[in-house]
Amino acid sequence: MSFQEVWSPFLIGSFLWFAGIAGMGSVAYALLRLYRVEEKLRELSLVLFASIVLALVFVVADLSRPLNMPLAILGSLASGVFIAKLAVSWMTLGISLLSILLVLTLALALRHTAVPALSKFTDNKYFLALLALVGLLVTLYSGFLISSAPGVPFWNTALIPVLWLISASICAIAVLKILVHEEKLSRILTTSSLALDAAELIAIAALLNVALYSGSIAAKISARALLAGELAAPFWAGVVVLGVLAPLVLGFMLLKKEDRRLALAAAVLALIGALVLRILVIQAGVFEVVGL
Which residues ranging from 124 to 153 are in contact with another protein (CB under 8 A)? Answer: 145-146, 148-152
- Chosen residue from 82, 127, 141, 154 binding another protein by CB under 8 A: 82
CA angle 29, 34, 35 (to 5 degrees): 100
**Minimum Å distance from CB 234 to another protein?**
22
**Minimum Å distance from CB 247 to another protein?**
31
**Side-chain-facing half-sphere of 71: CA atoms under 13 Å:** 4
**Minimum Å distance from CB 59 to another protein?**
8
Binding mask 226-265 for another protein (x = CB under 8 A): ----------------------------------------
- Chosen residue from 42, 53, 220, 287 binding another protein by CB under 8 A: 287
Considering beta carbons, is residue 4 or 190 the nearer one to another protein? 4
Binding mask 2-31 for another protein (x = CB under 8 A): --xxxx------------------------
Distance CA(145)–CA(16), nearest Å, equals: 10
Q: Which helix (H) or strand (E) holds 267?
A: helix 260-283
Helices (runs of H) and strands (runs of E) counted in the chain: 13, 0
- Number of other residues whose CB lies within 10 A of the CB of residue 95: 20
| Cα–Cα nearest to 279, from 53, 15, 90, 55 | 15
CA angle 54, 56, 59 (to 5 degrees): 110
Q: What is the radius of gyration, based on Cα positions, of the chain? A: 20
* Span from 44-52, 83-91, 183-191, 237-245 in contact with another protein (CB under 8 A): 83-91
Chain residues that interact with another protein, rule: CB under 8 A: 4-7, 62-66, 68-69, 71-73, 75-76, 79, 81-82, 84-85, 88-92, 94-95, 145-146, 148-152, 155, 285, 287-288, 290-292
